């Protein structure tokens, strides 16, 4: 498939553009940073996240199921032309762990019990500060963060060695050396791949999309002006379907189309 065909497929499927244009995390001249223009778009196929059945069927009757899902340090390729980089990934084993993690398929009214297993190293780069309001001590359950996500869209910056780049210098180092109000990456990631493509047919498709960026807004639309139908937002369906030509999605916001 030639590049122009990939662009057509992508524009007919994901219709993702950036709200307000690309905001750069840093100048590319800075040593070690990757110019995102060097990453060819639409060469990696959109991956379907692994699915885990959250129930079991015994003698024709659906029953609750107990799952064990771990978080593992693995290496992950965000683009075919980038080397793999260390990430923390979810899965039933290290070999099956992915970014993002698997989708649990559950039935209404049937319980799914999940035991989360921590296989991360004792030391990592993420600070734990109990003085921050959302910090959760180890003896508490924490905040539920399990939702249905089919297309997880976020932005990241990379170094030329494939590792994720995040500016660790604070906006006002005299107050705090690392604190920044927001993060903007140069490459757009969908289901763990930078600018992927998906082969589609001329038929109806249903997508659940989450903006998993730290601060970036996304404006979704078809480049040819085609209308699409919004049927849900965040955790609820709309009272009736809404036809539109564009949809603005804020960080952590979900839309069903």
Q: What is the pLDDT of residues 127-163, one digit of tens each?
A: 666 666 556 666 665 545 555 558 999 999 999 899 9
Structure token digits, residue 27: 């100048």
CATH number at residue 95: 2.60.40.420
**pLDDT-based confidence at residue 213 (cuts at 50, 70, 90):** very high
Cα separation, 123 vs 44, whole angstroms = 33
Q: Where are the alpha helices (DSSP H) in the chain?
A: 3-13
Cα 3 from Cα 1, distance rounded (Å) = 7
Give the model's pLDDT for residue 32. Answer: 84
For range 187-215, the mean pLDDT: 92
Average pLDDT over residues 39-68: 94
The Cα-based distances of 251 to 25, 63, 113, 118 in angstroms read 17, 36, 28, 27
Q: What percent of the chain has pLDDT over 90?
A: 56
Confidence of residue 174 (pLDDT cuts 50, 70, 90): confident
pLDDT range class, residue 77, cuts 50, 70, 90: very high
Q: Which two tokens stand for residue 131?
A: 């003085």
Q: Tell me the pLDDT band of 124, cut-offs 50, 70 and 90.
A: low
Question: How many domains is the chain built from?
Answer: 1
Q: Which residue has the higher pLDDT, 44 or 122?
A: 44
Q: Give residue 9's pLDDT band: very low, low, confident or very high (50, 70, 90).
A: very low
SS3 letters across 36-100 = HHHCCCCCCECCCCCEEECEEEECCEEEEEEEEEEEEEEEECCCCCCCCEEEEEEECCCCCCECC
Q: Which helix (H) or strand (E) holds 240?
A: strand 236-244
Percentage of the chain lying above the pLDDT 70 cut: 77
Q: What is the per-residue pLDDT for 5?
A: 45
pLDDT band (50, 70, 90) for residue 38:
confident
Instruction: Name the residue range of residue 159's domain.
Output: 3-256
Under 8 Å between Cβ of 196 and 118: no
Inform me whether the pLDDT recorded for 16 exceeds 60.
Answer: no
User: pLDDT value at position 133?
Assistant: 59
| Comparison of pLDDT for 172 and 70, the residue scoring more | 70
């Amino acid at each position: 498939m030639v590049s122009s065909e990939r662009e057509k497929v992508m524009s007919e499927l994901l219709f993702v553009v950036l709200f307000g244009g690309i905001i750069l995390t840093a100048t590319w001249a800075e040593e070690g940073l990757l110019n995102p223009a060097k990453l060819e778009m639409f060469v990696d196929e959109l991956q379907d996240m692994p699915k885990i059945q959250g129930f079991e069927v015994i003698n024709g009757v659906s029953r609750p199921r107990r799952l064990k899902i771990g978080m593992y340090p693995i290496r992950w390729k965000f683009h075919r032309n980038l080397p793999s980089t260390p990430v923390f990934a979810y899965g039933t084993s290290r070999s099956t762990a992915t970014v993002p993690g698997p989708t649990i398929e559950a039935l209404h009214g049937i319980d799914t019990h999940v035991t989360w297993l921590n296989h991360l190293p004792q030391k990592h780069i993420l600070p734990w500060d109990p003085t921050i309001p959302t910090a959760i001590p180890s003896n508490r359950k924490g905040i539920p963060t399990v939702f249905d996500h089919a297309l997880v869209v976020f932005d990241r910056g990379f170094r030329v060695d494939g590792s994720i780049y995040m500016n660790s210098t604070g906006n006002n180092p005299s107050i705090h050396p690392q604190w920044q109000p927001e993060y903007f990456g140069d490459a757009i990631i969908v289901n763990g791949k930078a600018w992927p493509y998906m082969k589609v047919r001329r038929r109806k498709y249903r997508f659940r999309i989450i903006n998993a960026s730290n601060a970036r807004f996304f404006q979704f639309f078809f480049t040819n002006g085609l209308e699409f139908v919004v049927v849900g937002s965040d955790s609820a369906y709309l009272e009736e379907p809404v036809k539109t030509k564009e949809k603005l999605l804020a960080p952590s916001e979900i839309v069903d189309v």
